[in-house]
Amino acid sequence: MTMAKLHKLTTRAFGAEPGVPDVTQLTEWIAENRGTTADITTYQLYQSLTPQLAAGIEHPCGGGKFCANRIRSSFLGVEGNCVTGEIAVETEALREDAAGIVVQKRNCWCALPAPHALGLIDRYYHDDEEWSDAITGAYCTVMRTMRDIGIAGHVLIADHADEMEFLALAGKKVFFFFNDTDRKDMERVMEYQWHIAVRSSQLESVFDLMNEYDVRKIYVIDPDAGSIALALSHFDPDQVTVGGYCLDKCGEYWNNLVNTAVYSR
């Protein structure tokens, strides 16, 4: 009897949330990186990416929702969580963040919270359309600044589907990622993206929606062998990628993800 041969699927990260570091580790790391913007966000960016590279993730992505602090602090016209004036972007820290990622891995992607996930409250524009134009315009500046340094593209981690954000930001170099989503949000995403990231429990919904939307690639988040086999029953292997978004113990997490990304045929 001929034994089935194991094949590898591509792996891709959609960011990580390394958490608040130990004070001693952070202090030592900041001391080693004097002369640059070395703070807690810089450290978390480093920690979000390093385990991915060590595990051999083929398409790594530094950053995560923790980058909200950096973005808010880079916006002029923002006090705390309130927008009190015309939004503009101070780019120096963003450039250094991008450079820190590129030093670790060239052509790497960066994950940021989607605009609505910043939690900003409009106290200046008082008009939904103007406010949306302002915040998405600022994000265009943020992402263009980082791409100029060498970031390949951005994952925007979203809490819900915001059509104004899709219209302004979706594209080849911007991918909207939902750690958890419902069918309605999936439909909205599929109107703007030909690729979609879903968990195993959402695969059947994707299959149903393929009658209405063009889906060219699927990223299965944290799959098991059964969900990989299910995805491959509807897509070719080059259309299926094993995806990850780490929330805890990232070294172990990414190693396990790489070990999971196989199928037999």
Q: What is the pTM of this model?
A: 0.94
Alpha-carbon span 242 to 240, nearest angstrom: 7
Q: What is the 3-state secondary structure (H, E, C) of the chain?
A: CCCCCEEECEEEEEEECCCCCCHHHHHHHHHHCCCCCCCHHHHHHHHHHHHHHHHCCCECEEECHHHHHHHHHHEEEEECCEEEEEEEECCHHHHHHHHHHHHHCCCCEEEEECHHHHCCEECCCCCHHHHHHHHHHHHHHHHHHHHHHCCCEEEEEECCCCHHHHHHHCECCEEEEECCCCHHHHHHHHCCCCEEEEEHHHHHHHHHHCCCCCCCEEEEECCCHHHHHHHHCCCCHHHEEEEEEECCCHHHHHHHHHHHCEEEC
How much is the pLDDT for 31? 73
How much is the pLDDT for 1? 47
Task: Give me the residue spans of the domains in the chain.
Answer: 6-264
List per-residue pLDDT tens for the chain, 265 residues long.
455 688 999 999 999 999 777 777 777 777 776 666 678 899 999 999 999 999 999 999 999 999 999 999 999 999 989 999 999 999 999 999 999 999 999 999 999 999 999 999 999 999 999 999 999 999 999 999 999 999 999 999 999 999 999 999 999 999 999 988 888 999 999 999 999 999 999 999 999 999 999 999 999 999 999 999 999 999 999 999 999 999 988 989 999 999 999 998 7
Domain at 6-264: CATH architecture: Alpha-Beta Barrel (3.20)
How much is the pLDDT for 35? 60
How much is the pLDDT for 120? 97
Neighbour count for residue 130 (Cβ, 10 Å)? 12
pLDDT, one tens digit per residue, over 4-47 is: 688 999 999 999 999 777 777 777 777 776 666 678 899 999 99
* Closest CA relative to residue 179, chosen from 3, 17, 4: 17
How much is the pLDDT for 2? 52
Phi, psi of 87 (to 5 degrees): -75, 130
